[in-house]
Amino acid sequence: MAEVYQALMDARERRGGGFLLLIDPDRSPETDYLALAEAAADSGVDAILVGTSFMMAGNFAYAVKEIKSMTPLPVIIFPGSFTQITSHADAILFTSLISGRNPQYLIDEQVKGAPFVKASGLEAIPTGYMLIESGPLTSVQFISGSLPIPRDKPDIACAHALAAQYMGMKLAYLEAGSGAQLAVPLDMVHAVSQTVDIPLLVGGGLQTPDDCAALVNAGASFIVMGTRLERDPGFGSLRELTAASHPKETIAV
């Protein structure tokens, strides 16, 4: 049963778009990311993604378990490698870095991780993951050893997303990268959304509610934003960002 995926689709239909909060437990103190997880549901977040390039500061399974204990929202693993799989989550984005040509992230990590996903009982959501040029080298570009899709080549992004759809993937994800200077271009988001029938996630380089609203208007199904929100007293900016990502409803801010 694709319960988490269906919940995401229902939220997008009901709210006109979706907002996924990305927590990287390796980038901030535990107290900060747990407070953010606790505030997420009341702030209008639709689901929480948990993932990191490395897990240097602690235990990934422990972090996911603690995040899950703080929220009624679906908790979805966004893995940096096959080692970041734990049954404490509800689902996992089973990603393939289809914009790159490094076999480790196209298929090798997936083969290594598949038995662990099965054993964990996690709901797997196949996702075509694409890096988009966004300025200086990002962590995911360095780790994956892959070139991003040029930001002025929407046709290349469209072809990759279409390939993801034809390979049976349920989501396409356009990612500028953590700490990106530039977000995914609106014309690229629009072109991809008009080319494929599967939902489109867009993240990286976003700062303001207007950024979120513009991407949803361009065709993004879900906005993904990360842990820069953790030290926001009262999480007011998070409420503003989620509200901008939900054009069919107004969330109190």
Tell me if 89 is assigned to some domain: yes
Q: Does 12 have pLDDT greater than 60? A: yes
Summary mean pLDDT of the chain: 93
How many domains does the chain fold into?
A: 1
Using N-to-C axis directions, what is the helix angle for 209-218 and 236-244, rounded to 10°? 20
Tell me if 34 is assigned to some domain: no
Closest listed residue to residue 7, CA positions, set 70, 91, 83, 106: 91
pLDDT over 90 for what percent of the chain? 81
Tell me if 184 is assigned to some domain: yes
Closest listed residue to residue 219, CA positions, set 138, 156, 141, 161: 161
Closest listed residue to residue 106, CA positions, set 59, 150, 163, 154: 163
Closest listed residue to residue 92, CA positions, set 104, 74, 109: 74
Tell me if 189 is assigned to some domain: yes
Half-sphere exposure of 246 (CA within 13 A, CB side): 23
Tell me if 206 is assigned to some domain: yes
Tell me if 171 is assigned to some domain: yes
Tell me if 13 is assigned to some domain: yes
Q: Does 253 have pLDDT greater than 60? A: no
* Domain range enclosing 190: 3-18+81-244
Q: Which residue has the higher pLDDT, 160 or 253?
A: 160
Q: Does 26 have pLDDT greater than 60? A: yes
92: CATH:
3.20.20.390
Tell me if 54 is assigned to some domain: no
Q: What is the pLDDT of residues 35-71, one digit of tens each?
A: 999 999 999 999 999 998 766 667 999 999 999 999 9
Q: What is the pLDDT of residues 165-213, one digit of tens each?
A: 999 999 999 999 877 899 999 999 999 999 999 999 999 999 999 999 9
